Amino acid sequence: MAEQNNTNADDRTIRLASIVSIDIVGFSTMSERDQRNAARKVEALRTRIETTAQKHGGRLFNTAGDGFMLEFASAGAALGAIQDILDKRSKGEPPLRVGAHVGDVVVTATSDLLGHGVNVAARLQELAEPGSALVSAEFRSMARSSPTAAFQAKGQKPLDNMEQRVQTFEILSKRQKFARGARKAATIAMVLAVLGVGAYFAPAGWRYAQPLLERQQQAPAETPPAAPTQLETLAPEPTFITYTPGHVFRDCETCPEMVVLGGGLFTMGSPANEPGRGRDEGPQREVSVQPFAIGKYEVTFAQWDACLGGGGCNGYSPPDGGWGRGDRPVTNVSWNDIQAYLDWLNERAGGLRYRLASEAEWEYAARGGASDAYAFGPRVTATQATFRTRQTTPVGAHAANAFQLFDMHGNVGEWVEDCYAPSYQLAPIDGAAVQAANCQRRVYRGGAFADREPVLRAAARQSARPDTRAQGLGFRVARTLD
């Protein structure tokens, strides 16, 4: 309470903001060579950055000799400004490094900003390569719905004076996206060219080969035809993913099996009269969930071990408690551990598709279109879920819910993306994850093998530190549809 009174006395407020930190590469060298020319370039750059920020609804709130700090109300607006700043660099303008983060900031009496959100953005900017932007997972999560969003995972990085490593992503500028598209187009053009050349010379080749074929047909008939080669026998048919609700697909042999959910409106949280209800399960509200895909099963030890075999997952092999590995759900993995698995999975899938589900997405999937406490009705039995037992069961041991998803209730608690908040009072209604700077606790859902029935309810919430490894904690993955 004393801290709150001091804050009020200083006329300071705290708010969530998208912070962008920009640094001029080689500013000291520029100044040493020609201080006046350097000053002109910086002034011109400041004008362009400030104009761009205002265009996207942001503001320039702090400057230094070689840096600028911008504030935006949303990550999407900040993303648009960053792309314009990097893409529309004028001739002779020095290269820039950019860092961005979404977090809490303290607003001073002079409208300057301080706090963790500013610090993380500045440290990410220090790690960025010249001409690029490095952002936090919180920024990427909130900006991913932008139509121009394109990111590349850069792994977990340590930041100065901060205990936890931060999951980072590089923003792909419009030029980088164009270059990626150009490479794809060039590959397609090359294939078409090869096919075209083959079609052009095919008639001449047939005229040359026809006499040889006729002589071969006149040879003794006892020579059996050659058996098809193994390559011909095993050549797979091309597959085309159709993202229609209920469609089941897999991006690679060791990737989790995914189910497409059509999304829609649903009521999140529990009513006041639901048995076992927790105080953090409300207020109930209507949430709109966009179409996405989610794992048909919880991620298994076999899938985690495939990540290990592929050089991923930071080399961490979680213990199985002596129950066996294989198709049992992987346990003893923290929220932080899972980020390494997602990085590996996205590399296998060829893009930033895989992630953890948001709380809203998870509850939408767990309910399976129902409004009762469980997907199967107001109660759950031992034939429908694994709970009040001494160990996990192999995934898929019980019947699926109406969305074809297994073990949404029981077996292992499943980490989701969200930072824990004690109520839904300020939670988004678009299905996005709740994020906060310096998140102390992450949410997990669904209940585990040793839990009692109320913990398994679709609306039940639990939380733990993101570095927690426990026998009853696992996860399933979600996937953005593209």
Q: Averaged over 238-246, what is the pLDDT?
A: 68
**Beta strand pairing status for 264-268 and 67-72?**
unpaired
Q: Output the pLDDT for position 214.
A: 55
Quick check: 444 and 463 in contact, CB under 8 A?
Answer: yes
Q: Render pLDDT for 64-115 as a digit per residue (tens, 0 to 9).
A: 878 999 999 888 899 999 999 998 887 778 889 999 998 888 999 888 999 8
pLDDT band for 39, please (50, 70, 90 cuts): confident
Q: Output the pLDDT for position 324.
A: 92
Q: Indicate the range of 120-129, 184-193, 409-418 predicted with least confidence.
A: 184-193
Question: Would you say residue 222 has pLDDT above 50?
Answer: no
Query: Cβ contacts of residue 242 below 8 Å, gap of 6+?
Result: none
Residue 389's alpha-carbon distances to 31, 381, 410, 447, in angstroms, are: 69, 12, 10, 12
Question: Would you say residue 425 has pLDDT above 60?
Answer: yes
Question: Would you say residue 476 has pLDDT above 70?
Answer: yes
Residue 68: burial class (beta carbons within 10 Å; 0-12, 13-18, 19+): buried
Question: Would you say residue 208 has pLDDT above 80?
Answer: no
3-state secondary structure of 98: strand
Q: Output the pLDDT for position 268.
A: 97
Question: Would you say residue 187 has pLDDT above 60?
Answer: no
Cis, bond preceding 318 (omega within 30 deg of 0): no
pLDDT band for 228, please (50, 70, 90 cuts): very low
Q: Output the pLDDT for position 239.
A: 45
Main-chain dihedrals φ then ψ at residue 222, nearest 5 degrees: -70, -10
Q: Averaged over 131-153, what is the pLDDT?
A: 80
CATH, domain range 234-482: 3.90.1580.10
Q: Cα–Cα distance between 295 and 386 in angstroms, integer? A: 18
Q: Which has more confidence, 204 or 464?
A: 464
pLDDT band for 6, please (50, 70, 90 cuts): very low
Instruction: Please report the beta strands in 290-385, taking only residues with DSSP state E, as ranges in sequence order.
Output: 292-295, 354-355
Q: Averaged over 13-27, what is the pLDDT?
A: 88
Instruction: Please report the beta strands in 269-347, taking only residues with DSSP state E, as ranges in sequence order.
Output: 285-289, 292-295
Q: Where are the domains of the chain?
A: 2-176, 234-482
**Beta strand pairing status for 413-419 and 285-289?**
unpaired
Q: Render pLDDT for 270-293 as a digit per residue (tens, 0 to 9).
A: 999 999 999 999 999 999 999 999
Residue 3: burial class (beta carbons within 10 Å; 0-12, 13-18, 19+): exposed
Could you say which of 1.20.1250.20, 3.40.50.300, 3.30.70.1230, 1.20.910.10 is the CATH number of the domain covering 2-176? 3.30.70.1230
Q: Render pLDDT for 300-349 as a digit per residue (tens, 0 to 9).
A: 999 999 999 999 999 999 999 999 999 999 999 999 999 999 999 999 88
Question: Would you say residue 448 has pLDDT above 80?
Answer: yes
Quick check: 375 and 408 in contact, CB under 8 A?
Answer: yes
Q: Indicate the range of 203-207, 403-407, 455-459, 474-478 predicted with least confidence.
A: 203-207
Q: Render pLDDT for 336-380 as a digit per residue (tens, 0 to 9).
A: 999 999 999 999 888 889 999 999 999 999 999 999 999 999 999
Q: Indicate the range of 250-254, 267-271, 415-419, 458-462 predicted with least confidence.
A: 250-254
